[in-house]
Structure formats: structure tokens, C-alpha cells
């Protein structure tokens, strides 16, 4: 069971005893934040009563809170948009990998086809060379007669 902490903090020159479930350090941090805000307000107008300065401090703290909450919502929206874009990019990468695999297989197939055609062409050239030689020989032998 968590025990309550009793912490004395100073705000605008007055001591206040706070009791809470948070750590002493956290309560002191909150107290310092409020003290800083209230002192800023009192420095701008030293004629303010403590109660009016406290109300203005509360308004400033609420303003900070709402701006912080709005910033958090915006960050979450940005995070969701980034995650969606990331998912799209992952899908695109998968599609490109598949396409790359298909193109690599097609390239291999075309290279094999090219090698076969080159071999056939070589055979045809050899055959033509033999035929040409035979024709030349026949032509030349006809002159010898």
C-alpha cells in the first residue's frame, strides 16, 4: 500500500503543506512550477493581491495544460499519419521486391533464350560458311575442266 507524502512547498513567499501520493520530488517540482508562474505574474504587476495573482496563475497553468494537450493530440495525429505512410511504403517495398523477382526471372529466361539464339546463329553461320566453301569449290572445279 502506498503511503501519502507530506511536503512543505513555498509559493510566493508563503509555505504550504501538501499531502499526496506522489513522490516528494514530484510535489516539489509542481510547487516550483506554480511559484515561478505566480512570481512572473506578481513581477509584472506588484499591486495584485495574492488571491488575484493565484487566479491568474491558475489561468496561465490551465492555458499551458490545454496547449500541451493540443500539442499531444497533434503529435498523435502526426504519428498516425507517419505510421500510415510507413505502412504504405512497406507495402510498396514488398510489391517492388516481387516485381524485382519477376523481372530477374524474366531476365534469366531471356538470357537463356539469347544464348540459344546465338548458338543457333553460330550453327547457321557455320553451315553457310561450309555451303559457301562448297559452292566456291564447285565453281572453281568447274573452271578446271
Q: What is the pLDDT of residues 1-38, one digit of tens each?
A: 568 989 999 999 999 999 999 999 999 999 999 999 99
Predicted pLDDT of residue 136: 72
* Helix 50-144 × helix 24-44 angle, to 10°: 110
CA–CA–CA angle 15, 16, 21 (5° rounding)? 140
Predicted pLDDT of residue 144: 55
Residue 143 pLDDT class (50, 70, 90 cuts): low
Predicted pLDDT of residue 126: 86
Domain ranges in the chain? 70-136
Span 55-83, pLDDT tens digits: 999 999 999 999 999 999 999 999 999 99
Check residues 129 and 49 and name the one with the higher pLDDT: 49
pTM here is 0.61
Amino acid at each position: 500500500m502506498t503511503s501519502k507524502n507530506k511536503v512543505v512547498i513555498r509559493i510566493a513567499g508563503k509555505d504550504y503543506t501538501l499531502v499526496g501520493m506522489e513522490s516528494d520530488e514530484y510535489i516539489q517540482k509542481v510547487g516550483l512550477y506554480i511559484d515561478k508562474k505566480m512570481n512572473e505574474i506578481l513581477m509584472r504587476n506588484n499591486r495584485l493581491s495574492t488571491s488575484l495573482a493565484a487566479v491568474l496563475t491558475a489561468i496561465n497553468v490551465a492555458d499551458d495544460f490545454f496547449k500541451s494537450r493540443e500539442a499531444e493530440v497533434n503529435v498523435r495525429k502526426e504519428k498516425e499519419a507517419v505510421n500510415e505512410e510507413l505502412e504504405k511504403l512497406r507495402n510498396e517495398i514488398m510489391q517492388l521486391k516481387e516485381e524485382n523477382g519477376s523481372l530477374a526471372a524474366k531476365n534469366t529466361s531471356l538470357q537463356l533464350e539469347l544464348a540459344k539464339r546465338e548458338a543457333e546463329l553460330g550453327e547457321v553461320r557455320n553451315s553457310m560458311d561450309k555451303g559457301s566453301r562448297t559452292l566456291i569449290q564447285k565453281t572453281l572445279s568447274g573452271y578446271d575442266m
